[in-house]
Amino acid sequence: GENVEQHPSTLSVQEGDSAVIKCTYSDSASNYFPWYKQELGKGPQLIIDIRSNVGEKKDQRIAVTLNKTAKHFSLHITETQPEDSAVYFCAASKPDTGRRALTFGSGTRLQVQP
């Protein structure tokens, strides 16, 4: 089955700096790669996603890049703010096989220091 590895497990940055979180996946058939943000005591929330037919996607301060050849994708957060502090999860899934289930990375705890 699919395996998703995520690094680093913790990341501390100064407010205003950029943060990068990286994930690799094992199954070359995977074609959908979402990123989730989880705040304390809440469920994960989708913040951005990318499909395998594009290499980059941006939404304000957040961007995701995908390298299909290397089977890795990354989340980039620019101009970080204290409210960006949370746990971030990457995930991957394959084309709809009737399951549509996501395989998640182990998470990155991002701390933005004021």
Partner 1 sequence: DAGITQSPRHKVTETGTPVTLRCHQTENHRYMYWYRQDPGHGLRLIHYSYGVKDTDKGEVSDGYSVSRSKTEDFLLTLESATSSQTSVYFCAISGSRGYTFGSGTRLTVV
Angle value at C-alpha 67, between 66 and 69, nearest 5 degrees: 150
For the bound state, the minimum distance from the C-beta of residue 19 to partner 1, rounded and expressed in Å, comes to 18
For the bound state, the minimum distance from the C-beta of residue 84 to partner 1, rounded and expressed in Å, comes to 19
For the bound state, the minimum distance from the C-beta of residue 98 to partner 1, rounded and expressed in Å, comes to 6
Side chain identity at 51, as an amino acid letter? R
Nearer to partner 1, 18 or 45 (CB): 45
Gap between the Cα atoms of 99 and 47, Å rounded: 22
Cis status, amide bond into 8, omega within 30 of 0: yes
Residues found near partner 1 in the complex (CB under 8 A):
1, 4, 6, 9, 34, 36, 41-46, 49, 89, 98-107
